[in-house]
């Protein structure tokens, strides 16, 4: 089971990307728990479940240094979602990015 958390400013715009990623994961038989939250909710979510990777939407990529510091020592990779993949809602590419980060940690 791969637990992927997408972070955006309000948690709304990323929900469409989450559903596209979930569809791709289903077709590829990848067991996953993919969700989207606002940047302010990350701590609450992490208190409830173990996260394998944290992906930041383009609108919050400026927060990467903060999240890098927060995830240091937890073995949770943090990366920004490619702006083009986000804009095109390319669930396949974003899922591939998440899996690659999980496998390389």
The residues annotated with a catalytic role in the active site are: 8
What CA–CA distance (Å, rounded) separates 38 from 4? 14
Structure tokens at 100: 């690659």
What CA–CA distance (Å, rounded) separates 72 from 60? 19
**Contacts for 4 with CB less than 8 Å, ≥ 6 apart:** 21, 32, 33, 34, 35, 51, 52, 53, 55, 95, 98
Number of separate helices (H) and strands (E) present in the chain: 5, 4
């Amino acid at each position: 089971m791969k637990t992927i958390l997408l972070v955006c400013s309000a948690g709304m715009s990323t929900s469409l990307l989450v559903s596209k990623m979930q569809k791709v994961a289903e077709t590829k038989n990848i067991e996953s728990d993919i969700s989207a939250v606002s940047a302010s909710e990350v701590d609450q979510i992490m208190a409830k479940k173990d996260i394998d990777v944290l992906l930041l939407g383009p609108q919050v990529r400026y927060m990467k240094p903060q999240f890098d510091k927060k995830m240091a020592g937890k073995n949770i990779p943090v990366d920004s979602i490619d702006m083009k993949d986000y804009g095109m809602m390319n669930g396949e590419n974003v899922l591939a990015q998440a899996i690659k980060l999980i496998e390389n940690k």
